[in-house]
């Protein structure tokens, strides 16, 4: 079997796309997050919906916000989702690079 970073990225992107197919619209989730900023599940779902709607930067920001509020939330789900997004975008993608920078400055500040 072919082992290439591009192939892995494509597989991850496909998996995320399939997960997102049934995601509610980002707008409905945005309202939920606005009404209750501490609802980390809503924020996580919002991030997934944003990624599904082709807004990876906003999705990354929402996931980082979850980590900021509670690093261990849901068995580290936000960080794992972030790494899936980074993998789907590809490690050299400027959005990935910026997202990794935000994450590391949060974790090591």
Model pLDDT for residues 51-82, shown as the tens digit of each residue: 988 899 999 999 999 999 999 999 999 999 99
pLDDT, average across residues 44-52: 92
pTM confidence score: 0.81
pLDDT, average across residues 39-44: 96
Give the rounded distance of the alpha carbon of 20 from its chain centre.
11
Longest CA–CA separation in the chain, Å = 48
pLDDT score, position 95: 97
Q: Which residues contact 27 (CB under 8 A, 6 or more apart)?
A: none
Q: How far apart are CA 4 and CA 103, in angstroms?
A: 25
pLDDT at 34 over 90: yes
**Average pLDDT score over the chain:** 89
């Amino acid at each position: 079997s072919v082992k290439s970073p591009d192939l892995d990225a494509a597989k991850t992107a496909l998996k995320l796309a399939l997960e997102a197919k049934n995601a509610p619209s980002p707008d409905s989730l945005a309202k939920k997050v606005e009404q209750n900023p501490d609802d980390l599940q809503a924020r996580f779902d919002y991030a997934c919906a944003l990624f599904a709607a082709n807004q990876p930067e906003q999705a990354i920001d929402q996931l980082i916000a979850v980590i900021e509020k509670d690093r261990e939330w849901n068995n580290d789900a936000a960080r794992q989702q972030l790494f899936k997004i980074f993998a789907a975008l590809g490690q050299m993608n400027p959005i990935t690079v910026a997202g990794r920078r935000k994450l590391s400055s949060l974790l090591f500040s």
